[in-house]
Chain A
Amino acid sequence: MAKIKIHFVPVGNAPLLKKSKFLMSTTDKFTSATSFVRKLLKIDTDVPLFLYIHSFEPSGDQSMGDLMDCFGVRGELVVHYSLMEAWG
Chain B
Amino acid sequence: MSQTSIPASTTTLQAANWSGYIPILLSLAPSSLSSPVAPRPLHRMISRMTYLHIALNEEVMQLFEFAPATAGQKELLVREEPPDDDDNHKDESICDSGEASASDGAVAAASDDKSNDAIRDKSGQNETDQKDIEQKADTAESTGAQPISKKYPTCWFEDEESGQPLRWHLFIGVLYDAMKGRAVLKQSHSFCPSDESATLLPWRIRVHFTSYPPTILPFEIQPPSKKDTTVEHTNQISTTISRTFRNSLKQALFMQYTSSKVANSITKSSHEKMWNAILTTNYTLYHEVNGSLQMGTLSSEADKQVAGAAVPELIPVRVLVNGNSPMQRPCRAFRDADENIMLQTIKQQCETEENGEETTEDEKTLDNLVERLTTCSIRPQTSLGNVLLSWLPQYFDVVDETIVAKSFVYYSIQGIQPNLSCSILDLWRSLCHPDHFLYVVVITND
Contact = CB atoms under 8 A, between A and B. Distances in A.
A58 interface: yes
Interface of B: 77, 80-82, 85, 87, 89, 92-97, 99-100, 103, 126, 129, 132-133, 167, 169, 217-218, 220, 222-228, 243-244, 246-248, 250-251, 254-255, 260, 263-264, 268, 314, 325-330
Given A28-B96, A31-B82, A35-B80, A54 B225 contact: no
Given A28-B100, A61-B103, A71-B254, 4 more contacts: A22-B92, A55-B254, A62-B325, A85-B227
A39 B247 contact: no
Interface string A27-68: 111011011101100001111101001111111111100110
A36 B100 contact: no
Contacts of B327: 63, 66
A29 B224 CA distance: 24
Identify the 3 closest CB pairs spanning chains A and B, nearest first: A56-B250, A61-B325, A55-B260
A36 B80 contact: no
Contact of A56 (B126, B169, B263): B263
Contact of B330 (A36, A48, A50, A69): A69
B76 to A, nearest CB: 12
A71 B250 CA distance: 13
Contacts of A83: 225
Given A28-B97, A59-B244, A60-B217, A44 B129 contact: yes
A56 B251 contact: yes
A23 B223 contact: no
A69 B331 CA distance: 10
Nearest to A25: B96
Contacts of B93: 3, 22-24
18 contacts: A19-B92, A22-B93, A23-B92, A23-B93, A25-B95, A29-B99, A29-B100, A36-B89, A45-B223, A46-B129, A46-B223, A48-B222, A53-B251, A55-B254, A55-B260, A58-B251, A60-B220, A88-B268
B255 to A, nearest CB: 6
Contacts of B314: 70
Contacts of B225: 48, 83-85
B82 A69 contact: no
B268 A32 contact: no
Given A35-B85, A56-B263, A45 B251 contact: no
Nearest to B268: A88
Contacts of A84: 225-227
Nearest to B331: A70
A30 to B, nearest CB: 10
Nearest to A21: B92
Contacts of A69: 329-330
A46 B217 CA distance: 18
A66 B95 CA distance: 18
Given A56-B263, A63-B100, A66-B327, A35 B82 contact: yes
Contacts of B246: 88
B82 A39 contact: no
A23 B89 CA distance: 11
A54 B129 CA distance: 31
A70 B244 contact: no
A38 B79 CA distance: 13
